[in-house]
Structures are given as structure tokens and as C-alpha cells.
Amino acid sequence: MSRGRLLVYLLRRDLRVSDNPVLHHLVTTSDHGFTHLLPVYVFPANQVEVSGFLKDGEQSPYPPARSQVGKFWRCGPHRAKFTAETVWDMKKNLEDLGSGLLIRIGTAKDVVNHLVQEMKETVTSVGGVWMTEEPSWEEAQEQESISLLCSEKEIEFKLWKDEKYFIDDRDNGLESPEGLPDVFTTYRKSQEPLREKPRKVLSKPGESSLPAMPQNGFIPAQAHPFVSPSSLEDLQKRLAKPLQNMMCNPPHRPENATDGHPFSGGETSAWERLRHSAKSGALTSYKETRNGLVGTDYSTKLSGYLALGCLTARQIHEELLKLEDGTDEQYKDAVGYGEGENDGTKGIRFELLWRDYMRLCTAKFGRKLFRLSGFRQQDGSYNKKWKTATEKIADPEQDPPPSQISKILERFQNGTTGMGLVDASQRELYHTGYTSNRARQNVASFLSKHLQIDWRYGAEWYEMMLTDYDVSSNWANWQYVAGVGNDPRGDARTFNPIKQAFDYDIEGTFVRMWMAELQGLDKLENVFQVCTTEAAELESCGLSENIMVTDPVKKIEFYVDRKPRATRRVYNKRRGHPRGGRWLGNSKNQYHSGSGMSSEAAANESTSTLGVDAETRDRDRKAREAQQFHDTTWRGNYTGGLPMNMHVHGGRGWQGGDQSRGRGNVGHFSGSWRPHGQRGGFRGRYPFIPQMPYAQFPGGAQ
């Protein structure tokens, strides 16, 4: 019998059969030189905890898959489930084409080495290994290790350019990632008009068009000491097994809380979601709804699918074209059908370009993606002192000490800081694996700017908890909001979470839904910062002894009628701020610890988090008739949308305001506006403040 030549196709974040450059090449090229194809997906032991796949009584040869700074699991239960569904859907889709998928546990290098060794004497020995390129540091290291292994074994190795992005790398005009502008708007302008940029989608392989799978008898079993999953249910169970008890005091899920991301993983579900968004009008209305906090259709919720490569950005673009041009009858009843590009579809393209930009930043800056000082800080010149819970690296004069920061981080994670929007988002994230882009920006700003805690704790927490985690979008956006990334304004841009709650949770629906204990409060200012509630109401709602009231992690004063709202406890104030401003807050303008000591305690769909540029944000603000009150003692305090002057100063002179440029991990957020008059549940008179021009600055991720 003549020997065949087997191609191992290592899948990672290209889990789709449509618009897949590797599969398309194998189908359309007759001289690729392989008689058999073995698609393989490896659950990587350095990024996913794999001890649930161990045989009884065995120990893992790999260290626990925990993060560097916070020591969190690197993949939490929500993403583990979503990934399992995605992998199993890919397996089914390949089987429908007459192929299949081998699921393995370990590292890609160990799995390939085992296949090569075990199959070298069979009729289908391994003759080549192909995989698509990923720019992030760990994936690049993995690519290099496979390349070296193949070289040692004298096996062909090929690294394919992945084509899941909006604008192909061959078309963006960059000779190398080093030529990428450090400001998104500059890059965006170089790529416009965006509607004309993406390449055509590659066709899906036909049934039996791929090289044959090796017979089961020639495929070696999973290497010791692990076992292979026998079903989707078994796969999910084994992935979830080590992830029990992630928190000491997890938040309770309210009975009326709804899941904003109830979607299954996989290419099949991705197409269902995309077509639903087009038919329902969600793509057309995207601009008006993207800042939402509650529901499933305020944003596209495609970020998780984009992150795993179940769907490509140019596939989304192609469906937008069908809707805009009126060329697909399945969308004939949708709003905007045949009416050309509109604000909603244009906004989605901006967001897809932002994902491209974040990925290119990863390629440009490499390991700096994970560095405390960020992308743009010069080596040796960065001296900012971030708060940390790690004793051995903390500044000797850190206040509060690491032990208190550890307690603050626990409260940040379980949603008991006393800041309503932040806490509601953290509880939603814990229970569903998802939270809106608007919420993500506020969470990131709160941790990094208001509390001045090492932003990497937040980035790692999101890595564990988010279903739609994407390494580039998550880490680059956390850098952006923390002021160490590619935001030209750096530290000068800070979100005021109370004002943001008034802007985007107009009736308090989101915060009340996830913070059941606050549902009895009448006034929105109390819902958004419970420590401002009068003693009698706290008593009637059973909140008098709640830690969010007795010991809020951070107190932020905000102004109504140009006077600060009274709080239950007197604030200590002092003057002499080094930047000419004034301090508002408790002693040292820091936050409180449980012991009474002064202490300090941020991705898709995008979705992705998709992002938006300066012009888009400005149009949004003008549409809302934003009003700004200018005070030269404060730096860039934007109050767009609410005729309320709110200034919040932290220990470094940061102040509140709607400086919403930071981009979240995914991106479609939505919301509704009532720019004039009182908000629902709000008590008090709004003063008249004359409208003044505001400086242009880019907006947040969509």
C-alpha cells in the first residue's frame, strides 16, 4: 500500500468552515501535496485549566493556568462553556463536510510531537503542519515552537495569514506593524472609505471536497495522563470542574436579572445572531442603541464569535452590504433595506476597524501589551506608583498597604464597592460572562483612575470572566482607559461613574436589576451611590449596616444646583491641591477600608469590543445637545448630556465628567437620552448652565 501524506491543521481562533483561508486553499488548489487532512484543536494548558481531563489519581504535568498578577484562572466558566460549544460546533460542521476534528489536551507542541511520533510508521505519516498566525505574544511563542519542532522532524510548516479581520493586512498600506500610527483616528483616516476596503468572502468548502480524514485506527489516542472528551456535555463538565469556588463571597443573582448574552458558541450560532440582528433592525439602529445596558439587542453581541474566529469581520461587512444594497430577500422587511449605508451600519464598520487597530497594536508592541507602564511609556522613564496587593513589589509608603488593597479588590470583584454602576456591572459579569461596553469603560476607569490600583488586576479579571475575551481588545482597551495606552490624553480622561449612570441608566433599571438590595431606594442619586441615602430610608430598606453604606470603597461627590449632595458622613476637605484644584472626598481623598484606615483600592462585542472615532463621538454628543460648564480650575471636565456640573478629584487631581474615550472589550453599547429636564427618580432642581463649545475627543468603543 502506498503511503499517504498527512496535513495537520492546528486550529486556534479560526473556528469556522466558511471564509477559512486554509480550507479554501485545500479545496481550490490541486497541487497542495497532501492526501489526508487532520484538523486538530488543542485546549492549551497555559491558558485553560485542564486538570479536569486527568485520569483518576494522576497529576498534571503543567502548572495551573493562573494569571500573573491577580492569580485568577485564565479562563473562567462562561468562556470555557462558550469555547466548548464553539469547538464542538466546528467538529460537527467539519463532519458534515466529510472531515472531522481531533480534540486534544496539553500544548500544541506536545500534541503535534505525539502525533508525529505515533503516526510515523502508519500509512499516513505527518508531512506538514499548518496554522493561522496570531500576533499576541503567547501565540507567537507557540508558533515558533511548532516551527522549530517541524524543522527538527523535517516536516513542512506553514503559517497562514488569518483573514478574520475587517481590512486585510495586504491592503492597509502598512509595510510592517511598526508603521501603525499611535492614534486611532490617524489610522482610520488612512483607511477610509471603509465601505470599500474589505476583501471578498471566501466560499465554504463543498461536501467531500477536503482531503480525507485518516481512519480512526491510525489516529493515536490522547497522550497520558489526560483523557479526551466523549461528548459536548463531557467536555463542558471537565472544563468546569476545576473552576468551582472562584470567589469567597460571590454575589447573589437576583430573580429578575436578565442575561444580556444568552447565546451559544459556534459558527452556527454566530450566523443566527448576525442574521437576526439584520432582520430585527438592530444593525440599522446601532447608533441609537449602542450605549444600552439591559437586553440582548442594544448591540450586536458578535464579539465572542469574532474573538474565536467563528465569524469574520468581512462576513459581517458582506451582510451589511446586502442590507444596504437590498440584494438579499431574507432582509427585505428590515429597516434600512435597500437604502444604502446609514449611521448604524457605518458605526459598526468603525467598530470593526477598531478591533483591527487593537490587533495591530498588539503586533507592534508585543509584550508591552501586558506591561504595567503600557504601550507608549519609554523604558526607564515611567515612575507612576500603582497600588498593589503584592507585598514584595509594593512601594514601602503605599497607602493603603497591600493587605487592604487585597480586601478592596475582593469587593471590586464581588460588586460591593458602593458605586452602583460599577457594582451592578461586576455582578452581571460574574453571573453571565458579559457586561456592556459602557459599563466596562466605567469599571476600568474606576479601578485605575479613581482607585489608582494596578490596572492589570482588572484586565486579568476580565480575561477570566468575559465570554467574549479577546487578548488584543481586552488588554489594549484596559491600557487605554488606564492612561498608559494609545489615548493621547492619558491620565486626563476619567469617567465619573455617577454621572455616567445618570446618562445611561436613566431610570436606574440596570443598577436596580443587579443590585436587589437597592430596589427599595427612591432617588437615583442614592441608587448610584448608596452612602448618600438619608438614615431613615436606609433603616426602612434594611441597609443601615450594609458595608456599601458603612464603608464605601470610594466616595464621589457630585453637584446638583451647583452644591454637593449631602452624604451620611461628613467629608474631610483640604486645599492646596498641587494642580490648583480642590480636593473633595474623605481623608487624603482616598477610599475607606474595613478597619477605618484610609485606603485606595476598570473588551467583542466588541463585542467585541468595537470602538468609535472622534467624529462619531462628537456627532453623538451634538445630537444629545450636550451642555458644558467650564471652570478653569479643573482640567477638561465634560458634562455632556446633563445640565449638572460634577467635579470629582482624586489624589492625582483627576476629575469627573464625560470624558468617554476609553474603549471596552467589545463594543456595541446603547442607551436612550433625555437631555433636558429631570431624570426619572431624580429629586432636585437642575440649574441653567449656558451651552459652551467643547473640545473634540474620540468616543468609546462600541
pLDDT in tens, 316-356: 999 999 999 999 999 999 999 999 999 999 999 999 999 99
Half-sphere exposure of 363 (CA within 13 A, CB side): 19
Is-contact 355 473, C-beta < 8 A? Answer: yes
**Residue 599 pairs with which residues in a beta bridge?**
591
The answer to whether the CB of 443 falls within 8 A of the CB of 426 is yes
Q: What is the pLDDT, as a whole number, of residue 199?
A: 97
- Output the pLDDT for position 441: 97
Collapsed DSSP state (helix, strand, coil) of residue 265: coil
Q: What is the pLDDT of residues 590-620, one digit of tens each?
A: 333 333 322 222 333 333 333 334 444 444 4
Distances (CA, A) of 701 to 100, 290, 441, 536: 37, 10, 8, 41
Strand partners, 609: 666
Greater confidence (557 vs 189) lies with 189
* Helix/strand/coil for 135: coil
Q: Kindly report, residue by residue over 432-462, the tens digit of the pLDDT.
A: 999 999 999 999 999 999 999 999 999 999 9
SS3 letters for 456-507? HHHHHHHHHHCCCCCHHHHHHHHHHHHCCCCCCCHHHCCECHHHHHHHHCCC
d(CA 101, CA 31) in angstroms, rounded, equals: 23
What's at 645, amino acid-wise? Answer: N
Q: For position 2, what pLDDT does the model report?
A: 60
Q: Which three cell numbers stand for residue 661?
A: 474615550
Instruction: Please compute the mean of the pLDDT values over residues 467-485 and round it to a whole number.
Output: 96
Rounded to an integer, what distance in angstroms lies between the CA atom of residue 175 and that of residue 189? Answer: 17
Q: Do 185 and 613 meet the contact criterion of CB atoms below 8 Å apart?
A: yes
| Residue appearing with cell numbers 476597524 | 353
Residue 303 marked ligand-binding: yes
Q: What is the pLDDT of residues 654-690, one digit of tens each?
A: 233 333 333 333 333 233 222 233 333 333 333 333 3
Cell, residue 2: 502506498
Collapse the DSSP code of 158 into the 3-class scheme (helix H, G, I; strand E, B; otherwise coil) and give the result: strand
Q: What is the dihedral of CA 191, 196, 202, 204, to 10 degrees?
A: 120
Is the pLDDT at 474 greater than 80? The verdict is yes
| Average pLDDT for 288-311 | 97
Q: Which of 84, 59, 366, 125 is nearest to 229 (CA)?
A: 84
Specify whether the CB–CB gap between 448 and 481 falls below 8 A: yes
Torsion sign across C-alpha atoms 535, 538, 543, 549 = negative
Strand order in the sheet with 124-132: 102-106, 36-44, 4-11, 124-132, 156-160
Would the CA dihedral through 185, 187, 192, 196 be positive or negative?
Answer: negative
Tell me what pLDDT residue 382 has. 84
d(CA 534, CA 544) in angstroms, rounded, equals 10
Note the maximum CA span of the chain: 89
Q: Is 571 annotated to bind ligand?
A: no
Residue pair 419/553 in contact (Cβ under 8 Å)? The answer is yes
Which DSSP symbol is given to 11? E
Question: Is 230 labeled as ligand-binding?
Answer: no
* DSSP string of 407-460, one letter each residue: HHHHHHHHT-SSBHHHHHHHHHHHHHS---HHHHHHHHHIIIIIS-B-HHHHHH
pLDDT-based confidence at residue 559 (cuts at 50, 70, 90): low
The dihedrals phi and psi of 10, each to the nearest 5 degrees, come to -85, 115
Q: How many CA atoms lie within 13 A of 85 on its CB side?
A: 19
Report whether pLDDT(295) > 80. yes
The cell numbers describing 599, all together, are 485606603
Whole-angstrom distance, CA of residue 574 vs CA of residue 589? 9
Cα dihedral 596, 600, 601, 605 in deg (nearest 10): 140
* pLDDT recorded at residue 558: 80
Rounded to the nearest 10°, the torsion over CA 73, 603, 234, 223 is -60
**Annotated binding-site residue? 302:** yes
Average pLDDT of the residues in 482-510 = 93
Q: How far apart are CA 390 and CA 402, in angstroms?
A: 6
What are the angstrom distances between the C-alpha of 270 and each of 96, 232, 311? Answer: 18, 18, 6
As a whole number of angstroms, the distance between CA 252 and CA 300 comes to 28
Task: Quote the DSSP letter at residue 212.
Answer: B
Which grid cell is 316? Answer: 459581517
What CATH code would you report for 1-162? Answer: 3.40.50.620
Domain boundaries, the chain: 1-162, 267-370, 397-550
Nearest Cα to Cα of residue 669 among 423, 503, 475, 451: 503
Report the 10 Å Cβ neighbour count for 163: 23
pLDDT category, 551, cuts 50, 70, 90?
very high
- Residues 626-663 have pLDDT tens digits of 333 333 222 222 333 333 333 333 332 223 333 333 33
Closest residue by Cα to residue 658 from 493, 524, 511: 493
Terminal Cα-to-Cα distance of the chain (whole angstroms) = 57
What's the average model confidence in pLDDT over 162-186?
Answer: 95
Residue 533: pLDDT band with limits 50, 70, 90: very high
The three cell numbers of residue 491 are: 491620565
Instruction: Check: CB of residue 402 under 8 Å from CB of residue 429.
Output: no
What's the mean pLDDT in 76-86?
98
Residue whose C-alpha cell reads 468551582 in the numeric block: 244
Phi, psi values for residue 5, rounded to 5°: -125, 115
Residue tagged 492526501 (cell numbers): 35
**Neighbouring residues of 621: CB distance < 8 A, sequence distance ≥ 6:** 640, 641, 694
Look at 125-129, 293-297, 391-395, 560-564 and tell me which has the smallest mean pLDDT: 560-564
Q: Is the predicted pLDDT of residue 583 greater than 80, yes or no? A: no
- pLDDT band at residue 560 under the 50/70/90 scheme: low
What does the alpha-carbon distance between residue 501 and residue 247 come to, in Å, rounded to a whole number? 27
Other C-beta atoms closer than 10 Å to the C-beta of 566 total 11
Pick the CATH number of 397-550 from 1.10.3720.10, 1.10.10.1150, 1.10.579.10, 3.40.50.10490: 1.10.579.10
Q: What pLDDT digit, counting tens, does each position of 128-141 carry?
A: 999 999 999 999 99
Q: What percent of the chain has pLDDT over 90?
A: 74
Residue 299 assigned to a binding site: yes
**Residue 83 — pLDDT band, cuts 50, 70, 90?**
very high
* Amino acid 701: pLDDT: 33
Instruction: Return the closest-CA partner of residue 617 out of 287, 193, 284, 341.
Output: 287
Segment among 386-390, 502-506, 554-558 with least mean pLDDT? 554-558
User: Could you tell me the three cell numbers for 305?
Assistant: 464569535
Nearest alpha carbon to residue 343 among 300, 288, 303: 288
Give me the chain's average pLDDT, please: 83
Cβ 108 vs Cβ 138: under 8 Å: no
- Section 154-167 average pLDDT: 96
**Pairing of the two strands 559-560 and 156-160:** unpaired
% pLDDT > 70, the chain: 79
- The verdict on whether residue 286 carries a ligand-binding annotation is yes
The three cell numbers of residue 9 are: 491543521
pLDDT of 69 > 90? The answer is yes
Q: Which CATH class is domain 267-370?
A: mainly alpha
User: Could you report the per-residue pLDDT of 23-37, keeping only the tens digit for each?
Assistant: 999 999 989 999 999
